[in-house]
């Protein structure tokens, strides 16, 4: 097995295990076993557990971005693109293995002791804010709308995970419609 294949196996296993059980609950030996690589090979591919978590988060950021863009690109208006964010969340929250935001979870577990993980979480959240800000500008709404819509999305993620309420996305979408319409009517 070449390094690229082994790396993908490790990252797939890490993503699955870390998301299901938490990063600190999964040891390197369990990760090695799940990925089907030797411990020596695992450390040849990744210098540390933190490096694995950072790569997992990069992959999750890419998947998040693709998922939102796929739905948003189907919408003809900036308003529709903004609301597509909540449609994306609704689909995600309904998945059987939904455990909340991997970035929030990772930051909560390791943010204080793993600067690379903290930076990956901050970067993800910042890029989402920038994306929403650009859509708000395209819609011709005041810039103050963007952080409001981001907070609705973030709050929906937390509520859906902690309270096991997948309809949090639907509720956030309804609130977002009110905020968007009010901002556009000014």
The mean pLDDT value for 139-167 works out to: 96
- The token pair that represents 175 in the structure block: 């609130």
| pLDDT above 90 for 125 | yes
Q: Which of 97, 103, 109, 93 is nearest to 156 (CA)?
A: 93
Average pLDDT, the chain: 96
Q: Which of 103, 97, 94 is nearest to 123 (CA)?
A: 103
Residue 133's pLDDT is 98
The topology under which CATH files domain 48-184 is Tetracycline Repressor; domain 2 (1.10.357)
Percentage, residues of the chain above pLDDT 90: 98
Long-range contacts, stretch 145-151, CB < 8 angstroms, 24+ apart: 145/179, 145/180, 145/183, 148/179, 149/82, 149/85, 149/176, 149/179, 149/180
What is the domain class of 1-46 according to CATH?
Answer: mainly alpha
The mean pLDDT value for 152-158 works out to: 97
Q: How far apart are CA 21 and CA 40, in angstroms?
A: 24
Tens digit of each residue's pLDDT (9 = 90 or more) over 9-42:
999 999 999 999 999 999 999 999 999 999 999 9
- The token pair that represents 70 in the structure block: 């796929």
Residue 23's pLDDT is 97
| pLDDT above 90 for 1 | no
Residue 62's pLDDT is 97
The mean pLDDT value for 66-82 works out to: 97
What CA dihedral angle connects 18, 110, 58 and 43, to 10 degrees?
Answer: -70
Domain ranges of the chain: 1-46, 48-184
| pLDDT above 90 for 186 | no
The mean pLDDT value for 140-169 works out to: 96
CA atoms within 13 A on the CB side of 162: 8
């Amino acid at each position: 097995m070449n390094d690229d294949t082994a790396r993908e196996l490790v990252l797939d296993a890490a993503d699955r295990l870390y998301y299901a059980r938490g990063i600190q609950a999964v040891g390197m030996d369990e990760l090695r076993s799940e990925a089907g690589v030797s411990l020596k090979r695992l450390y040849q591919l990744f210098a540390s557990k933190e490096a694995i978590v950072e790569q997992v988060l990069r992959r999750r950021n890419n998947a998040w971005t693709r998922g939102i863009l796929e739905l948003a690109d189907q919408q003809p208006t900036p308003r529709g693109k903004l609301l597509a964010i909540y449609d994306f969340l609704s689909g995600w929250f309904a998945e059987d293995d939904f455990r909340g935001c991997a970035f929030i979870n990772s930051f909560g577990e390791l943010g204080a002791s793993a600067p690379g993980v903290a930076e990956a979480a901050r970067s993800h959240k910042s890029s989402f804010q920038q994306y929403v800000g650009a859509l708000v500008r395209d819609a011709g709404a005041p810039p103050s709308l963007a952080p409001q819509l981001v907070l609705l999305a973030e709050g929906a993620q937390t509520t859906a995970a902690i309270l096991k309420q997948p309809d949090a996305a639907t509720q956030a979408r309804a609130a977002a419609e009110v905020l968007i319409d009010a901002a556009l009517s000014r």
